[in-house]
């Protein structure tokens, strides 16, 4: 009887010894699969981002970056608003009228954004921010390679870039992950504080 107990104990100990390396290998394989999946997601998200960008999105981002808080509120609320002479040429890029009709255009005569131009501008700005927030959701959840996304979208934290339409995002009361992303990038690029 003692012999059988010793044999059983030896077999269980040997099994435990053989299982431990298998568990480590399985853990390593799971981690490798997870990393591979994150890299694939990163490429897919960047591909979707690049395909979503349109000339109008870029132009709208450039225009709205020049708006003040009140103009952003009016754009968000879909209400007509006035603009300066400096912004009018950028807004006119959205216009579908022929160049012959420009002198009679409401924007150039009344210096107000309304009607079809207002609709187009608002649509492109919101589309741009929605897609950008989608990218940032992936970044926030960690389903993409966060360092790659931070490198690729570092431009959003640049002051000249309008920090991803900060005034419009505040007006809309949304897009929190774009803000979180910009804050993190700014913290990473800020010079270290000198000790007192």
pTM of the model: 0.77
At 78 the three-state DSSP class reads coil
Q: How far is CA 88 from each of CA 64, 70, 74, rounded to the nearest angstrom?
A: 12, 17, 16
Digit-by-digit pLDDT tens for the chain (196 residues) are: 578 777 778 787 777 777 777 777 778 777 766 688 889 999 999 999 999 888 888 888 888 988 999 999 999 999 999 998 888 888 877 666 666 666 666 676 678 888 888 888 999 999 999 999 999 999 999 999 999 999 999 988 876 665 678 889 988 888 999 999 999 988 877 665 665 5
């Amino acid at each position: 009887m003692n012999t059988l107990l010793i044999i059983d104990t030896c077999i269980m100990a040997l099994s435990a010894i053989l299982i431990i390396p298998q568990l480590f290998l399985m853990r390593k394989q799971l981690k490798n699969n997870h990393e591979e999946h994150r890299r694939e997601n990163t490429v897919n998200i960047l591909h979707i981002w690049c395909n979503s960008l349109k000339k109008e999105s870029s132009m709208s981002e450039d225009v709205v970056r020049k708006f003040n808080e009140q103009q952003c509120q009016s754009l968000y609320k879909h209400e007509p608003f006035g603009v300066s002479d400096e912004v009018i040429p950028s807004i006119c890029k959205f216009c579908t009228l022929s160049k012959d009709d420009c002198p009679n255009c409401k924007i150039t005569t009344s210096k107000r954004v309304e009607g079809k131009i207002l609709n187009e501008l608002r649509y492109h700005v919101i589309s741009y921010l929605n897609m950008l927030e989608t990218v940032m959701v992936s970044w926030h959840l960690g389903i993409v390679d966060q360092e790659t996304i931070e490198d690729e979208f570092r431009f959003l934290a640049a002051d000249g870039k309008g920090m991803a339409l900060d005034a419009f995002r505040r007006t809309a009361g949304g897009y929190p992950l774009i803000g979180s992303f910009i804050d993190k990038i700014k913290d990473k690029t800020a010079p270290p504080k000198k000790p007192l």
